[in-house]
Amino acid sequence: MHELILHHYDISPYAEKIRLCFGLKGLPWRSVQIPVVMPKPDLTELTGGYRRTPTLQLGADVYCDTKGIARAIEDVAPSPTLFPDGSEAIVPALQRWGETSFMMVVTVLMGEGGVFDEDFMEDRRKMVGDAIDLDQAGVIVPAKLMQLRANLDLLEQQLSDGRDFLLGDAPCLADLAVYHPVMMVGLVPNPKLKALVEPLRFVAAWLARIGAIGHGKREEMDSADAIAVARDAAPAEFRGQAAPPPEGLEVGQSVVVLPEEIGSGPVAGELLPSGPHEIRIRRRGERAGELVVHFPREDYLVVAA
Ligand SMILES: N[C@@H](CCC(=O)N[C@@H](CS)C(=O)NCC(=O)O)C(=O)O
């Protein structure tokens, strides 16, 4: 079995979701630190252009986006499960809750100023391009705070029957996905955000329970060594039932994967047989050799090159 290699940086909240997956399953993993801002040449050598954080590498297979990364970890180590029976649609729905809440927190922090340095802001301005004017975030801070308050209020209500975790007695991916934006609210020294979480006692106890899950067994690795691992490995065989490619596309054709999230970076390659929940493409890295890059179907488009 290939080692689990996470390309991430410590302050990434999305990476925290995945570090907690390792913790929940008690897994050993290798940690490759990537830059917080572009360029990220060793990361894009593996992904082909996807720049977001984190990315998981298993030999010559590269998984982009935490939704696909969590499924890959579940495949490697099914127990204890991240996806309890009967929660098939609920876990993805709560991941979406985590994503929208994350953006609310980030918008407040950017609008308030004083948290991110100019290098970071300049990089994120370039990342979102004309789609969002980050310098106008301050205008919507009061409204965003109210949205966040509404989301947190629902979370407090959900936990107020005394349950330990969102979907019952055991933690699962839903908890880890909801945890990271809420943790951020409590972490940053912003009085407006702090005021939102302070009254929530069920949320506070739940945060402590999730934090206690820990990160499994982490060992640092150099990015050049991670690329060498990819070079020396062969991508895994496809297992499972292939879904038909989108109408008009064929397996083997040159395609581009377009993330729907702004600025993540398109990735070109050859379309491979893919299951209903993921897109797989083959590409070559100059230093990493033949790779298969995986994307969760729900947030990524595949179109002809
Ligand atoms: N949908 C992605 C979102 C990941 C994401 O936005 N991560 C942030 C860091 S917490 C990011 O990539 N920021 C830009 C960067 O690191 O280049 C996922 O679930 O993995």
pLDDT digits (tens, 9 = 90+) for 243-284: 999 999 999 999 999 999 999 999 999 999 999 999 999 999
In a domain, 2, yes or no: no
Do residues 296 and 95 touch, judged by C-beta distance below 8 A?
Answer: no
How many angstroms separate the CA atoms of 129 and 262, rounded?
A: 8
Domain tally for the chain? 1
Output the ligand 1 site: residues, CB below 6 A: 12-14, 51-53, 65-67, 261
Q: Is residue 242 part of a domain?
A: no
Kindly report whether the global pTM for this prediction surpasses the value 0.75: yes
What is residue 126's predicted lDDT score, i.e. its pLDDT?
Answer: 97
- What pLDDT, on the 0 to 100 scale, is given for residue 186? 80
Q: Decide if 298 is inside a domain.
A: no
Q: Which two tokens stand for residue 297?
A: 């179907």
Q: Pairing state of beta strands 217-220 and 28-33? A: parallel
**Residue 179 and residue 166: Cα distance in Å, rounded?**
10
Q: pLDDT averaged over the chain?
A: 96
Q: Report yes or no: 28 and 217 within 8 Å, Cβ to Cβ.
A: yes
Ligand 1 pocket, mutate which of 53, 62, 124 (most atoms under 8 A from CB) = 53
Residue 48 falls inside a structural domain: no
Which ligand 1 atom sits nearest the alpha carbon of residue 34? Answer: 16
Contact 234, 60 (CB under 8 A): yes
DSSP 90-125: HHHHHHHHHHHHHHHHHHHHHHH-SSS-HHHHHHHH
**Residue 106: which domain range?**
90-211
Mean pLDDT computed over 194-203:
95
Asked, for residue 188, whether it belongs to a domain, the answer is yes
Please choose from 6, 8, 10, 14 the residue to mutate so as to test ligand 1's pocket, defined by most ligand atoms within 8 A of CB. 14
CA–centroid distance, 55 to ligand 1, in Å, is 9
Q: Is the pLDDT of residue 208 over 90?
A: yes
Query: From ligand 1's centre to the CA of 34, what distance in Å?
Result: 12
Residue 157, in any domain of the structure? yes
Q: Is residue 83 part of a domain?
A: no
Q: How many residues does the chain have?
A: 305
pLDDT at 84 over 90: yes
Q: Read off the CATH number of the domain in which 128 is found.
A: 1.20.1050.10
Please report which confidence band the pLDDT of residue 188 belongs to, taking 50, 70 and 90 as the band edges: confident
Q: Above 90 in pLDDT, residue 157?
A: yes
At 187 the pLDDT is: 83
Please indicate, yes or no, if residue 103 is contained in any of the structural domains. yes
Using the atom order of ligand 1, give the atom closest to the CA of residue 52: 12
| CA atoms of 199 and 35, how far apart (whole Å) | 36
The C-alpha atoms of residue 36 and residue 112 are separated, in whole angstroms, by: 20
CA dist 260 → 50, 176, 265, 298, 302 (Å): 12, 22, 10, 9, 10
pLDDT of residue 1: 83
Atom 6, ligand 1: which residue's CA is nearest? 52
